[in-house]
Structure 1
């Protein structure tokens, strides 16, 4: 099953699980569960005996690869908390990009310009209406999810604006003209210097990603660890630890050039990063030998098969002493 959506929140490399289930962003777990059971009954292979085997297979894949993961993500306590933190950050970011966001649906445009007092009711009634037919036509599901995600995007922009002390037009003019300065007539004392930025809290979303990635690395589950770290870097592109760990993950997968890029970034951000300091010289040496035309030949193994060239030997084996963990 190929599902490509480039509208709404998906346009920002974000999987909009609320759009997959067609529930409001502020829906509680009970409401989400009710909606999930409704979708699961509709997509179950035995729900409609008249459909073709191809459509039954497609429905089963939508349920197992799209709906089930979405439900788990936004109902499991820990993952739900992380997910909502990310949504909150996205809402604040989107407020600043309000004028550059392109909307494709009339409902989305209407929600973007609706009076503040009607935003909630307009948004939730639109979501409820789409939910009635979301999974009726399996071949239209991606387009419907894109439509819902666009509504979620607009709703995030509008509701994030409520928590700001300045209305959207002032935000835009401030972005164009620079920071506001105090009025000398009303403020004759210089403001105190800004305190240094506080360190990220231990329970931040990025910390959760890093902990999960480290656990996966310890289990030699490198592709899964790579996904976690890529998500973390979307939140904090200048996190040296993220770059260091993903460099290690690429190294373990014998992707030396990618490993070098991230170890370089880690050292630029933190010259004392021990992981990067330890591995970067070895990678530089290996890449130098590779570019210089060094060639390692290995005889066939005892089974008569040619050696695996995917990363178990050669440069990778040399870096790790030829051992597999």
Structure 2
């Protein structure tokens, strides 16, 4: 069984990360994370009722499709470079569209191609996306459909409007992908390293957001076994322990996080708070005998 999109944008050798997550190319960065956490929960192997085979399939979909897509789109720089690659691809195709007509497999993509419009594009994506992860049998089918819709949007819009944020490909500060001078082809962007504990980390953050401290700690303990040198694991453990009133243990977790990564933002944010809370209360000054503090020596 293959765990990859083969139609739409993917047909031209470019991974369609937005189609994997069931999002239009115009999605705001904040919504990308929200959708990822939703999919992480849907594909979690501990979801009640899944058979062993289903758990294995869910894990593969997450590790081979969803997680890599999120790794790119969650990074301002990587997302900006990816969207710039789509822009370059669209420009190149428009120069040779007479020689290379678009072939679309789905009726909905063909309809969009006949009458392309950004509002219609978003409407069609919103129709298809909710069906995408309803069952394992539909994931690739609807992912391919979404990629065809994305392809039509990329090729038919004169002024491409991608997701807003600092990584917009229109921003001058964003570098374009490197090109090979010999054949002028776009070099693939290096993929970011992926933690084997990424699923657990994101589920822990989901539980922390809901103040479900015990569930969050369970995920973080599992994450620590998978990635024992990940500073973020210990930083989030510190957050959970701090909210469970285990100040001394939280302090130790934050210290461990900062030992692994002195710039770990969560640990830096809370370490002073637990330091202050763990200090013993100051003793009140001893009262001296006698009137007005004058006492006998």
Asked whether the 8 Å contact 1:98–1:157 carries over to 2, the reply is no
Which of 122, 127, 130 is the aligned partner of 1:129?
A: 127
C-alpha deviations, 1:62-81, integer Å up to 9, x for none? 11221011011012011111
Asked whether the 8 Å contact 1:9–1:150 carries over to 2, the reply is yes
Q: Residues 55-94 of structure 1: matches in 2 within 5 Å?
A: 55-94=54-93
Q: CA RMSD in A?
A: 2.5
User: 1:24 Cα shift?
Assistant: 0.8
Q: Taking structure 1 as reference, are residues 155 and 136 closer, same or farther at Cα in structure 2, changes over 3 Å only?
A: same
**Following the alignment from structure 1 to structure 2, what is the Cα–Cα distance between the partners of residues 238 and 94?**
16
Q: Which has the higher contact order (CA 8 A, sep 6+)?
A: 2
User: 1:22 Cα shift?
Assistant: 1.1
Residue in 1 that maps onto 2:34: 34
Residue in 1 that maps onto 2:151: 153
Residue in 1 that maps onto 2:176: 205
Runs of 4+ in 1 over 3 A off after TM superposition: 96-99, 201-207
User: 1:102 Cα shift?
Assistant: 0.5
User: 1:93 Cα shift?
Assistant: 2.3
User: 1:55 Cα shift?
Assistant: 0.9
**Following the alignment from structure 1 to structure 2, what is the Cα–Cα distance between the partners of residues 82 and 147?**
24
User: 1:56 Cα shift?
Assistant: 1.0
Residue in 2 that maps onto 1:238: 183
Residue in 2 that maps onto 1:44: 44
Does the residue aligned with 2:137 lie in a helix, a strand or coil? helix
Q: Taking structure 1 as reference, are residues 78 and 202 closer, same or farther at Cα in structure 2, changes over 3 Å only?
A: closer
Q: Taking structure 1 as reference, are residues 113 and 86 closer, same or farther at Cα in structure 2, changes over 3 Å only?
A: same
User: 1:238 Cα shift?
Assistant: 2.3
- Structure with greater proportional helix content: 1
User: 1:132 Cα shift?
Assistant: 0.9
User: Number of matched residues?
Assistant: 173
TM norm structure 1: 0.49
Asked whether the 8 Å contact 2:84–2:177 carries over to 1, the reply is no
5+ unaligned residues in a row in structure 1: which ranges? 164-200, 208-231, 243-325
Asked whether the 8 Å contact 1:111–1:122 carries over to 2, the reply is yes
